[in-house]
Structure 1
Amino acid sequence: MRHQLVRFLFAGCVGFLVDTTVLYLTLWLGFGYFVGRAISFLCAVWATWQLNRRYTFSSARNESVWAEWTRYLAAMSVGGAVNYAAYSVVVSALRPAPWLPILAVAAGSIAGLAVNFATAKWWVFKHARSIPDERQ
Protein backbone atom coordinates (compact mmCIF):
# COMPACT_ATOMS: atom_id res chain seq x y z
CA MET A 1 0.00 0.00 0.00
CA ARG A 2 2.91 2.38 0.66
CA HIS A 3 3.99 2.16 -2.98
CA GLN A 4 0.44 2.85 -4.13
CA LEU A 5 0.29 5.90 -1.88
CA VAL A 6 3.58 7.22 -3.30
CA ARG A 7 2.31 6.72 -6.86
CA PHE A 8 -1.01 8.30 -5.92
CA LEU A 9 0.84 11.31 -4.50
CA PHE A 10 2.88 11.60 -7.71
CA ALA A 11 -0.31 11.51 -9.79
CA GLY A 12 -1.73 14.11 -7.41
CA CYS A 13 1.27 16.38 -8.03
CA VAL A 14 0.66 16.12 -11.76
CA GLY A 15 -3.02 16.80 -11.12
CA PHE A 16 -2.07 19.83 -9.03
CA LEU A 17 -0.04 21.20 -11.94
CA VAL A 18 -2.91 20.60 -14.36
CA ASP A 19 -5.40 22.10 -11.89
CA THR A 20 -3.44 25.29 -11.27
CA THR A 21 -2.46 25.75 -14.92
CA VAL A 22 -6.04 25.41 -16.14
CA LEU A 23 -7.29 27.59 -13.27
CA TYR A 24 -4.91 30.42 -14.19
CA LEU A 25 -5.97 30.03 -17.83
CA THR A 26 -9.67 30.20 -16.95
CA LEU A 27 -9.04 33.22 -14.72
CA TRP A 28 -7.24 34.91 -17.58
CA LEU A 29 -10.25 34.13 -19.79
CA GLY A 30 -12.53 35.76 -17.22
CA PHE A 31 -14.32 32.74 -15.72
CA GLY A 32 -13.71 33.75 -12.09
CA TYR A 33 -12.40 31.80 -9.12
CA PHE A 34 -15.32 29.42 -8.71
CA VAL A 35 -16.36 28.53 -12.27
CA GLY A 36 -12.69 28.41 -13.25
CA ARG A 37 -11.98 26.00 -10.44
CA ALA A 38 -14.82 23.69 -11.47
CA ILE A 39 -13.30 23.48 -14.94
CA SER A 40 -9.74 23.05 -13.68
CA PHE A 41 -10.84 20.38 -11.20
CA LEU A 42 -12.42 18.29 -13.95
CA CYS A 43 -9.23 18.55 -16.02
CA ALA A 44 -7.13 17.51 -13.02
CA VAL A 45 -9.41 14.56 -12.26
CA TRP A 46 -9.07 13.32 -15.85
CA ALA A 47 -5.26 13.61 -15.68
CA THR A 48 -4.99 11.78 -12.36
CA TRP A 49 -7.36 9.06 -13.55
CA GLN A 50 -5.07 8.39 -16.51
CA LEU A 51 -2.03 8.09 -14.25
CA ASN A 52 -3.71 6.17 -11.43
CA ARG A 53 -5.32 3.59 -13.70
CA ARG A 54 -2.00 2.87 -15.45
CA TYR A 55 0.62 3.24 -12.72
CA THR A 56 -0.92 3.34 -9.27
CA PHE A 57 -3.64 0.71 -9.29
CA SER A 58 -3.12 -1.07 -12.63
CA SER A 59 -6.75 -0.91 -13.59
CA ALA A 60 -8.62 -4.12 -14.28
CA ARG A 61 -9.19 -4.01 -18.03
CA ASN A 62 -12.25 -6.28 -17.99
CA GLU A 63 -14.69 -3.39 -17.60
CA SER A 64 -15.69 -0.47 -19.73
CA VAL A 65 -13.27 2.44 -19.59
CA TRP A 66 -16.27 4.76 -19.40
CA ALA A 67 -17.69 2.87 -16.43
CA GLU A 68 -14.35 3.19 -14.66
CA TRP A 69 -14.12 6.90 -15.55
CA THR A 70 -17.64 7.52 -14.24
CA ARG A 71 -16.86 5.72 -10.97
CA TYR A 72 -13.53 7.58 -10.64
CA LEU A 73 -15.19 10.95 -11.28
CA ALA A 74 -17.87 10.14 -8.68
CA ALA A 75 -15.24 9.05 -6.15
CA MET A 76 -13.04 12.08 -6.73
CA SER A 77 -16.09 14.30 -6.43
CA VAL A 78 -16.49 13.17 -2.82
CA GLY A 79 -12.94 14.30 -2.06
CA GLY A 80 -13.55 17.15 -4.48
CA ALA A 81 -16.30 18.51 -2.25
CA VAL A 82 -13.83 18.64 0.64
CA ASN A 83 -11.24 20.09 -1.75
CA TYR A 84 -13.62 22.75 -3.12
CA ALA A 85 -14.75 23.73 0.37
CA ALA A 86 -11.17 24.34 1.52
CA TYR A 87 -10.41 26.17 -1.74
CA SER A 88 -13.50 28.37 -1.25
CA VAL A 89 -12.54 29.25 2.31
CA VAL A 90 -9.08 30.39 1.20
CA VAL A 91 -10.40 32.35 -1.80
CA SER A 92 -13.09 34.01 0.32
CA ALA A 93 -10.83 34.80 3.27
CA LEU A 94 -7.93 36.36 1.38
CA ARG A 95 -7.64 39.30 -0.96
CA PRO A 96 -7.10 38.60 -4.66
CA ALA A 97 -3.40 38.26 -5.43
CA PRO A 98 -1.34 36.52 -8.10
CA TRP A 99 -0.48 33.69 -5.69
CA LEU A 100 -4.02 33.21 -4.33
CA PRO A 101 -5.17 30.53 -6.83
CA ILE A 102 -2.15 28.29 -6.24
CA LEU A 103 -2.45 28.63 -2.46
CA ALA A 104 -6.17 27.86 -2.56
CA VAL A 105 -5.70 24.83 -4.86
CA ALA A 106 -2.94 23.54 -2.56
CA ALA A 107 -5.17 23.87 0.50
CA GLY A 108 -7.98 22.06 -1.29
CA SER A 109 -5.70 19.30 -2.56
CA ILE A 110 -4.32 18.61 0.89
CA ALA A 111 -7.80 18.62 2.41
CA GLY A 112 -9.18 16.08 -0.08
CA LEU A 113 -6.14 13.78 -0.29
CA ALA A 114 -7.12 11.07 2.21
CA VAL A 115 -10.71 10.86 0.96
CA ASN A 116 -9.55 10.60 -2.65
CA PHE A 117 -6.97 7.88 -1.93
CA ALA A 118 -9.44 5.82 0.09
CA THR A 119 -12.21 6.01 -2.50
CA ALA A 120 -9.80 5.24 -5.36
CA LYS A 121 -8.19 2.26 -3.62
CA TRP A 122 -11.23 0.66 -2.03
CA TRP A 123 -13.96 1.52 -4.51
CA VAL A 124 -12.79 2.54 -7.99
CA PHE A 125 -9.85 0.17 -8.31
CA LYS A 126 -10.79 -2.46 -5.72
CA HIS A 127 -10.36 -5.29 -8.26
CA ALA A 128 -7.13 -3.97 -9.75
CA ARG A 129 -4.07 -6.13 -9.49
CA SER A 130 -1.23 -4.84 -7.38
CA ILE A 131 1.75 -3.38 -9.22
CA PRO A 132 4.93 -4.97 -7.86
CA ASP A 133 7.64 -2.80 -6.42
CA GLU A 134 10.45 -2.45 -8.95
CA ARG A 135 13.04 -3.07 -6.22
CA GLN A 136 11.79 -6.59 -5.55
Structure 2
Amino acid sequence: MPARTAAETLIARLGPERRDGLLQFLRFGVVGTVGFLVDTAVLYAGLALGLGLYSGRAVSYVAAASTTWALNRAWTFRDSGQAPAARQWALFLLVNLIGFACNYGTYAALIAFVPLVAAHPVLGVAAGALAGMVGNFWLSRRFVFKAATT
Protein backbone atom coordinates (compact mmCIF):
# COMPACT_ATOMS: atom_id res chain seq x y z
CA MET A 1 0.00 0.00 0.00
CA PRO A 2 1.49 3.40 -0.97
CA ALA A 3 2.22 5.93 1.74
CA ARG A 4 -0.36 8.67 2.24
CA THR A 5 0.49 12.25 1.45
CA ALA A 6 0.18 14.83 4.19
CA ALA A 7 -3.00 16.17 2.55
CA GLU A 8 -4.57 12.69 2.39
CA THR A 9 -3.72 12.09 6.05
CA LEU A 10 -5.23 15.43 7.07
CA ILE A 11 -8.41 14.79 5.07
CA ALA A 12 -8.74 11.31 6.59
CA ARG A 13 -8.41 12.73 10.11
CA LEU A 14 -11.02 15.43 9.50
CA GLY A 15 -13.84 12.99 8.98
CA PRO A 16 -16.49 13.25 6.28
CA GLU A 17 -18.48 16.20 7.70
CA ARG A 18 -15.48 18.44 8.33
CA ARG A 19 -13.91 17.36 5.04
CA ASP A 20 -17.08 18.35 3.18
CA GLY A 21 -17.16 21.68 5.02
CA LEU A 22 -13.52 22.36 4.16
CA LEU A 23 -14.06 21.52 0.50
CA GLN A 24 -17.13 23.75 0.48
CA PHE A 25 -15.09 26.59 2.01
CA LEU A 26 -12.40 26.10 -0.65
CA ARG A 27 -15.04 26.26 -3.42
CA PHE A 28 -16.41 29.39 -1.73
CA GLY A 29 -12.90 30.84 -1.92
CA VAL A 30 -12.61 30.05 -5.63
CA VAL A 31 -15.97 31.71 -6.23
CA GLY A 32 -14.78 34.63 -4.11
CA THR A 33 -11.76 34.98 -6.37
CA VAL A 34 -14.08 35.27 -9.38
CA GLY A 35 -16.10 37.81 -7.41
CA PHE A 36 -12.92 39.75 -6.68
CA LEU A 37 -12.15 39.90 -10.41
CA VAL A 38 -15.68 41.08 -11.21
CA ASP A 39 -15.53 43.60 -8.34
CA THR A 40 -12.24 45.01 -9.58
CA ALA A 41 -13.27 45.13 -13.26
CA VAL A 42 -16.56 46.88 -12.52
CA LEU A 43 -14.85 49.33 -10.13
CA TYR A 44 -12.28 50.31 -12.73
CA ALA A 45 -14.98 50.56 -15.42
CA GLY A 46 -16.99 52.80 -13.09
CA LEU A 47 -13.96 54.96 -12.43
CA ALA A 48 -13.38 55.28 -16.17
CA LEU A 49 -17.01 56.36 -16.58
CA GLY A 50 -16.64 59.05 -13.93
CA LEU A 51 -17.89 57.35 -10.77
CA GLY A 52 -15.88 58.12 -7.66
CA LEU A 53 -13.91 55.67 -5.56
CA TYR A 54 -16.80 55.17 -3.13
CA SER A 55 -19.84 55.11 -5.44
CA GLY A 56 -17.92 53.03 -7.97
CA ARG A 57 -17.18 50.51 -5.25
CA ALA A 58 -20.81 50.30 -4.19
CA VAL A 59 -21.80 49.45 -7.77
CA SER A 60 -18.94 46.98 -8.16
CA TYR A 61 -19.84 45.24 -4.89
CA VAL A 62 -23.42 44.60 -6.03
CA ALA A 63 -22.13 43.21 -9.34
CA ALA A 64 -19.65 40.96 -7.53
CA ALA A 65 -22.18 39.82 -4.93
CA SER A 66 -24.66 38.91 -7.66
CA THR A 67 -21.98 36.94 -9.48
CA THR A 68 -20.87 35.08 -6.37
CA TRP A 69 -24.46 34.28 -5.40
CA ALA A 70 -25.06 32.67 -8.82
CA LEU A 71 -21.81 30.69 -8.73
CA ASN A 72 -22.28 29.61 -5.13
CA ARG A 73 -25.82 28.48 -5.92
CA ALA A 74 -24.65 26.48 -8.93
CA TRP A 75 -21.41 25.04 -7.50
CA THR A 76 -20.46 25.62 -3.86
CA PHE A 77 -23.86 24.88 -2.35
CA ARG A 78 -25.38 22.89 -5.23
CA ASP A 79 -26.46 20.08 -2.89
CA SER A 80 -28.33 22.44 -0.58
CA GLY A 81 -31.97 23.36 -0.79
CA GLN A 82 -32.75 25.54 -3.76
CA ALA A 83 -35.12 28.35 -2.81
CA PRO A 84 -36.66 30.42 -5.60
CA ALA A 85 -33.81 32.33 -7.26
CA ALA A 86 -35.04 35.91 -6.72
CA ARG A 87 -35.84 35.24 -3.06
CA GLN A 88 -32.49 33.53 -2.47
CA TRP A 89 -30.56 36.33 -4.22
CA ALA A 90 -32.27 38.95 -2.06
CA LEU A 91 -31.61 36.89 1.08
CA PHE A 92 -27.96 36.46 0.04
CA LEU A 93 -27.55 40.23 -0.29
CA LEU A 94 -29.37 40.82 3.00
CA VAL A 95 -27.43 38.39 5.19
CA ASN A 96 -24.15 39.35 3.59
CA LEU A 97 -24.60 42.98 4.65
CA ILE A 98 -22.42 42.09 7.65
CA GLY A 99 -19.70 40.86 5.29
CA PHE A 100 -20.31 43.92 3.14
CA ALA A 101 -19.78 46.17 6.17
CA CYS A 102 -16.44 44.47 6.87
CA ASN A 103 -15.55 44.48 3.18
CA TYR A 104 -16.51 48.07 2.39
CA GLY A 105 -15.32 49.39 5.76
CA THR A 106 -11.88 47.91 5.22
CA TYR A 107 -11.79 49.29 1.67
CA ALA A 108 -12.97 52.78 2.70
CA ALA A 109 -10.53 53.00 5.64
CA LEU A 110 -7.60 51.99 3.46
CA ILE A 111 -8.63 54.40 0.67
CA ALA A 112 -8.91 57.23 3.21
CA PHE A 113 -5.73 56.58 5.19
CA VAL A 114 -3.27 54.74 2.93
CA PRO A 115 -2.17 56.75 -0.10
CA LEU A 116 -0.85 53.63 -1.86
CA VAL A 117 -4.32 52.06 -1.70
CA ALA A 118 -5.99 55.27 -2.90
CA ALA A 119 -3.65 55.19 -5.88
CA HIS A 120 -4.25 51.47 -6.48
CA PRO A 121 -7.84 50.69 -5.32
CA VAL A 122 -7.44 47.01 -6.22
CA LEU A 123 -5.44 46.66 -2.99
CA GLY A 124 -8.42 47.91 -1.01
CA VAL A 125 -10.78 45.61 -2.91
CA ALA A 126 -8.56 42.62 -2.07
CA ALA A 127 -8.26 43.55 1.61
CA GLY A 128 -12.02 44.09 1.82
CA ALA A 129 -12.76 40.75 0.18
CA LEU A 130 -10.59 38.91 2.69
CA ALA A 131 -12.14 40.80 5.60
CA GLY A 132 -15.66 39.73 4.62
CA MET A 133 -14.98 36.17 3.41
CA VAL A 134 -15.26 34.09 6.57
CA GLY A 135 -18.41 35.83 7.79
CA ASN A 136 -19.99 35.62 4.36
CA PHE A 137 -19.27 31.89 4.16
CA TRP A 138 -20.84 31.17 7.53
CA LEU A 139 -23.87 33.38 6.87
CA SER A 140 -24.38 31.95 3.39
CA ARG A 141 -24.09 28.37 4.59
CA ARG A 142 -26.31 28.90 7.62
CA PHE A 143 -29.07 31.11 6.21
CA VAL A 144 -29.04 31.29 2.41
CA PHE A 145 -27.98 27.85 1.19
CA LYS A 146 -29.08 25.75 4.15
CA ALA A 147 -29.89 22.14 3.39
CA ALA A 148 -33.51 21.39 2.74
CA THR A 149 -35.25 20.04 5.81
CA THR A 150 -37.26 16.85 5.54
With the shorter chain as reference, the TM-score category is 0.7 to 0.9
TM-score (norm 2): 0.80
Larger gyration radius, structure 1 or structure 2: 2
RMSD over equivalenced CA pairs, Å: 1.4
Structure 1 residues 109 and 128: alpha-carbon distance in aligned structure 2, compared to 1, 3 A threshold: farther
Q: Which residue of structure 2 aligns with residue 133 of structure 1?
A: none
Distance 2:122 2:38 in 1: 11
Gaps of 5+ in 2: 1-20
1:29 to 49, 55, 59: 49
* Structure 1 ranges of 4+ moved more than 2 A: none
- Matched AA of 2:69: W
Show CA shifts across 1:25-66 (max 9, x none): 1011111110000000000001101110010011423x3211
Higher relative contact order (CA 8 A, sep 6+): 1
TM-score (norm 1): 0.88
Q: Which residue of structure 1 aligns with residue 62 of structure 2?
A: 42
Whether contact under 8 Å (1:57, 1:128) holds in the other structure is no
- Residue 3 of structure 1 and its aligned partner are, at CA, apart by 0.8
Distance 1:67 1:77 in 2: 16
Distance 1:48 1:56 in 2: 10
